[in-house]
Amino acid sequence: MPKLQGKVALVTGGADGIGEAACRALAAEGATVVVSDINLAGAEKVAGDIRNGAWACELNVCEEAAWQAALDEIIGRSGQLDILVNNAGGNGAGNVEEISFDDFRNAMRLNLDSVFIGSKLAIELMKARGGNIINVSSIHGIRAAAHAASYTAAKGAVRLLTKSIALHCAQHGYGIRSNSIHPGYILTTQMKDWVAGQEDPDEMMAGLVAHHPIGFLGDPADIGAGIVFLASDDSRFMTGSELVMDGGFCLV
């Protein structure tokens, strides 16, 4: 029997990259997946490919009202929410001297505030029956990056917010687990396009791979598999933990 049969999962940023991989992996294990993204057309394409009852929802994760509307729609259509994958994020490049305060705050809104809003509202829907909150942080939520001050700050905060949520839910007996996942550099379309735009793409790629002792960069499907693990009873004794999937990045 599929591991997530009968579960309803909401994935943010589900139109591509890690979010898309998470949607596909969760659906393959029987979950009904709500593919949410600010790019509704992209989300609809992924939901159409997945089938298995999947459907798309437009969601700007920086807006509380948009979150509430999306969750109301999920309850109206499915009657429950069992899994939330807070995946949407990005931005945050620039060292502390380069970035403006406005850019810093915008990166925090996208990468951190969105996780707070989504988790807070999802707990209300989950606490009577239990559930899973999975927050996609980053290896740079554990190991700082000088070239991405706001991204590092936000993803580090996601790591500790995840732990705070886990402890709160455990203390109240909600049956809600909360864990974070920390990918290394992953070959998403966005990353491939960024590498292709560099002056020497081959040299850039070789440099990125060199930071990962395993000898290659991860695929979005690798992280999707990790998300399924955290969403399923295979990880039932984990809460407030970090699942680091970085090809050894932290070792060097």
CA 39 vs. chain centroid, Å, equals 16
C-alpha to C-alpha distances, 23 to 19, 126, 138, nearest whole angstrom: 6, 20, 19
pLDDT band at 123 (very low <50, low <70, confident <90, very high): very high
Residue 79 placed within a domain: yes
Q: Which residues are registered as beta bridge partners of 134?
A: 85, 179
The arithmetic mean of pLDDT across residues 212-230, rounded, is 98
Torsional sign, CA 191, 86, 159, 219: negative
Supply the residues annotated as catalytic: 151
User: What values do phi and psi take at 66, rounded to 5?
Assistant: -65, -40
Is residue 244 one of the residues assigned to a domain? yes
Q: What is the pLDDT of residues 59-85, one digit of tens each?
A: 999 999 999 999 999 999 999 999 999
Tell me if 207 is assigned to some domain. Answer: no
Q: Could you tell me the pLDDT band of residue 143, with boundaries at 50, 70 and 90?
A: very high
What per-residue confidence (pLDDT) applies to 250? 93
| Residue listed under structure tokens 């729609």 | 73
CATH number, position 80: 3.40.50.720
**213 part of a folded domain:** no
Please check the confidence at residue 252 and state whether its pLDDT lies above 90: no
Percentage of the chain beyond pLDDT 90 is 95
Is 212 contained in some domain?
no
SS (H, E, C) 168-208: HHHHCCCCEEEEEEEECCECCHHHHHHHHCCCCHHHHHHHH
In a domain, 205, yes or no: no
Is residue 92 in a domain? yes
CB-count exposure of residue 79 (10 Å: 0-12, 13-18, 19+): exposed
Window from 5-9, 171-175, 190-194, 233-237 with minimum mean pLDDT: 190-194
Whether residue 148 lies inside any domain: the answer is yes
Per DSSP, the residues of the chain read: --TTTT-EEEETTTTSHHHHHHHHHHHHTT-EEEEEES-HHHHHHHHHHH-TT-EEEE--TT-HHHHHHHHHHHHHHHS---EEEE-------B-TTTS-HHHHHHHHIIIIIHHHHHHHHHHHHHTTT-EEEEEE--GGGTS--TTBHHHHHHHHHHHHHHHHHHHHHHHTT--EEEEEEEE-SB--HHHHHHHHTSSSHHHHHHHHHHT-TTSS-B-HHHHHHHHHHHHSGGGTT--S-EEEESTTGGG-
Residues of the domain holding 235 = 8-188+219-251
User: Looking only at Cα atoms, what is the longest distance across the chain?
Assistant: 54
Pick the closest to residue 31 from 4, 56, 57, 71 (CA basis).
Answer: 4
Written as one letter, the residue type at 42 is: G
Number of separate domains in the chain: 1
